[in-house]
Amino acid sequence: MKVMAQMSMVMNLDKCIGCHTCSVTCKQAWTNRTGMEYVWFNNVETRPGLGYPRTYQDQERWGGGWVRTKRGKVKLRAGGRLKKLATIFSNPKMPTIHDYYEPWTYEYDALLSAPANSRHTPVARPKSLLTGEPTKIEWSANWDDNLGGSQEIATLDPVLKHMNDHVAMEFEKTFMFYLPRICEHCLNPSCVASCPSGAMYKRAEDGIVLVDQEQCRGWRMCVTGCPYKKVYFNHKTGKAEKCTLCYPRIEVGLPTVCSETCVGRLRYLGLVLYDADRVGEAAAVEGEHDLLAAQRSVFLDPHDPEVIAAARRDGIPADWVEAAQNSPIWRLISDYEVALPLHPEYRTLPMVWYIPPLSPVVDVVTASGNDGEDAKTLLTALSTMRIPLEYLAGLFSAGDTAPVEKTLRRLAAMRSYMRDINLGEEPDEGIAAAVGMTGVEIQEMYRLLAIAKYEERYVIPTAHTEVAQGLEEMACSLDFEGGPGMGGTGPFGTSSGVPQPASVETFHALKERQTADNPHTPSGRGRVNLLNWDGRGSTSGLFPPGSGRAPEPESLTVTDPDAAAGTFRDDPNPGGFPGISRDDARPGSDAAEGHRDAEGHRDAEGHR
């Protein structure tokens, strides 16, 4: 047994409202730059639907993931080394820009420069961000949001194609739900195995899958190999990029950007301990319906004394073991067994799991005039409503409806059991027993799913200095020209400002930068707010010192520690010095002269 740690996530789909806040904040933090216009590390899909990119779940077309051989091993669906070598210069199974969407902007200058007395209303026409030519908007990352156009396109959903005609025809009348997706950071990642140059790797300390930008050669075999299509190609740099699970934040104990900004608070982050020696065996089980149980068997109980001893033997710190014991991931996946993986049939052993939504079933029961929180009514409805069960099983359990029904029955029992408690009635222990749980377990699960606090949803241990050499900020998969890891000053933790390993930067400095409300200025670099500069004089930091220029005069003494640190507070006098108005701060004014020191300069009163 070889114990390793994996940073994992669970999403409660009942709480997703489809607001796309997670997508927008992730876009602004990681992919808001040239070459990545079409890329969304985090996207929210409406189900049923085609997804992003379109029909990415059709592995017969795209060839992602693994397949089991007759010898009981797994091999890449897209082929081995010889096939990759034969197609390395022309990959036939790779999504094009039209499978994602062609990004666009608008000709805003047509509005700004339009004549004031024009007879015609000016129009900002769309134009392609790739070619700069006028374009026609036909698709986007969430074009079919809220079942938009479902009459024409929902039937192309690869999951629906595996269901019978009656289910496919009536499904949109039954329910829809939202499915947020990020990189799965799999235990058996097919993208890593697909890379010819070995640029993709899985970090041994926390299991996060990254791309080495120095080693990547842009073969794009990883795009084909990933069955979830969460590896993207930057057409400007010629490199592959993917979700990093916001590892600079994870290393200092902070959740990912998508988790931090999630409106519905549906995401849970934490460590899971697993047996690395059993990963290959679990991925190669014969029956697809057995993959869920096989992956659960790989996870180790963090409370088991033998597991704790083995973890210490394998170099896992004690506080990481404690974090795994307090992790919500272990409880949701293995204790309560309400979380399920996305498409386990791909055999990658994904580590972003989902709690299937119960709300669609409750909505149908309520719409029929019945009590949507009555245990008997809900459990009966779950047994008869095969349409949502079959579709959810196609997503989360390789078509096996038993695990999905078990999960939904436990969620329904929790809803009914807790209603009795909230109404001051005696809870029915028979409800808990009917789903294989106790009343105490149901109350604990209710707290975790409904009212868990920030520190209960995100149990993230900090990185250790003894392994800091392997956690270099220079190794960021976005550390190149135009990327947030390039070393330029960036607000809110997008860049530390200097291309140095994270081990050089202290824990507190990095955490303060990640949680700052205002941009930070790295020491040694000037920063000028041009919006508040009055244009008079040369402000320190506005221009770099030239070889032929005289050095700038000494800056005025600043008594505000925040100003000295390079941070800025809301001030009624922005751009000025503490206690001095803008006019008084002009060069040559008495107030400005009064801030000179005692070496022949004036004091605060203006006297020598």
Report phi then psi at 362, rounded to 5: -60, -40
Before 53, cis peptide (omega within 30)?
A: yes
What amino acid is encoded at 119 in this protein? Answer: R
> Which stretches does DSSP call E strand in 98-169?
104-106, 126-128
b/e map of 162-177 (b: 16 or more CB within 10 Å)?
ebeeebbeebeebbbb
DSSP 273: E
Residue 223 domain flag: no
What is the span of the domain harbouring residue 415?
Answer: 356-451
Question: What distance in Å separates the CA atoms of residue 233 and residue 288, rounded to the nearest whole number?
Answer: 31
Structure tokens at 394: 């196609």
Counting beta carbons within 10 angstroms of the beta carbon of residue 297, is it exposed (0 to 12), middle (13 to 18) or buried (19 or more)? middle
Closest to 99 (Cα-Cα) out of 225, 232, 210, 189: 232
Q: Which residues of the chain have pLDDT under 50?
A: 472-477, 479-482, 485-505, 519-524, 547, 552-608
At 119-156, the pLDDT tens digits run: 888 889 999 999 989 999 988 988 888 877 666 676 67
In the chain, % helix, strand, coil (3-state, to 5) comes to 35, 10, 50
Answer with the one of 436, 451, 466 that is the final residue of a domain: 451
DSSP single-letter state for residue 448: I
Specify if 169 maps to a domain. Answer: no
Task: Please state, in angstroms and rounded to a whole number, the distance separating the CA atoms of residues 519 and 489.
Answer: 8
CA 370/CA 257 separation, integer angstroms: 40
Pairwise CA distance, residues 266 & 353, whole Å: 12
pLDDT of residue 465: 60
149-207: pLDDT as tens digits: 666 676 677 887 766 555 555 555 557 899 999 999 999 999 999 999 999 999 999 99
Q: pLDDT at position 174, please? A: 58
The answer to the question of residue 144 being in a domain is no
pLDDT value of residue 582: 38
- Give the pLDDT of residue 160: 75
> How far, in whole angstroms, is CA 432 from its chain's centroid?
34
Q: What is the maximum alpha-carbon separation in the chain?
A: 94
Residue 123 in tokens = 């129009």
Q: Is residue 239 part of a domain?
A: no
Residue 566 lies in a domain: yes
E-state strands within 24-144: 43-47, 66-68, 74-76, 104-106, 126-128
Between helices 401-422 and 359-367, what is the axis angle to 10°? 70
What is the domain count for the chain? 2
142 within some domain: no
CB-hemisphere CA count at 13 Å for 504? 9
Give the list of residues 6+ apart from residue 242 with CB closer than 8 angstroms, or none. 41, 183, 191, 209, 210, 211, 230, 231, 232, 477
Cα–Cα dist 292/70, whole Å: 21
The residue out of 451, 486, 513 marking a domain boundary is 451
Contact present, 500 and 473 (Cβ < 8 Å): yes
- The domain spanning residue 375 has which CATH number? 1.10.3650.10
Q: How far apart, in whole angstroms, are the C-alpha atoms of residue 416 and residue 449? A: 15
Domain edge (last residue) among 451, 471, 501:
451
Residue 267 lies in a domain: no
pLDDT for 506: 52
The single-letter DSSP state of residue 299 is B
Q: Is residue 138 part of a domain?
A: no
